[in-house]
Amino acid sequence: AAGVIQSPRHLIKEKRETATLKCYPIPRHDTVYWYQQGPGQDPQFLISFYEKMQSDKGSIPDRFSAQQFSDYHSELNMSSLELGDSALYFCASLDRGKNTEAFFGQGTRLTVV
């Protein structure tokens, strides 16, 4: 069965650079979440989309933005990167109509140097 696909798997950027993370949810899933997991920490909710519209916002810095496109894939754009942005970024999708569990991608490990 198709899973949530995230790209790239690993990314190294310098301070003040920008990064774009991509997420391809499971087909026909209507909801996408983005989470940030720092070293040794629990996943922190950043932002979510329902049917391509932003539906909820968590602890997402103003330097970050996200959107969901007509094909349901989502992108997390991160600008003016800081060392503290180094983390594992997860995307998850679910079918809200069927109240499924959230299915997570393998994550993108971002390292800011």
* Residues 3-22, mask of contacts with other proteins (x by CB under 8 A): -x------------------
Distance of closest approach, residue 22 Cβ to other proteins, in angstroms: 15
93-96 LR contacts (CB < 8 Å, sep 24+): 93/4, 93/23, 93/25, 93/26, 93/29, 93/31, 93/32, 93/33, 94/29, 94/30, 94/31, 94/33, 95/26, 95/28, 95/29, 95/30, 95/31, 96/30, 96/31, 96/50
- Binder of other proteins out of 14, 27, 42, 83 (CB under 8 A): 42
Binding region for other proteins (CB under 8 A): 4, 31, 33, 41-43, 45, 48, 50, 55-56, 58, 88, 90, 92, 96, 99, 101-107, 109
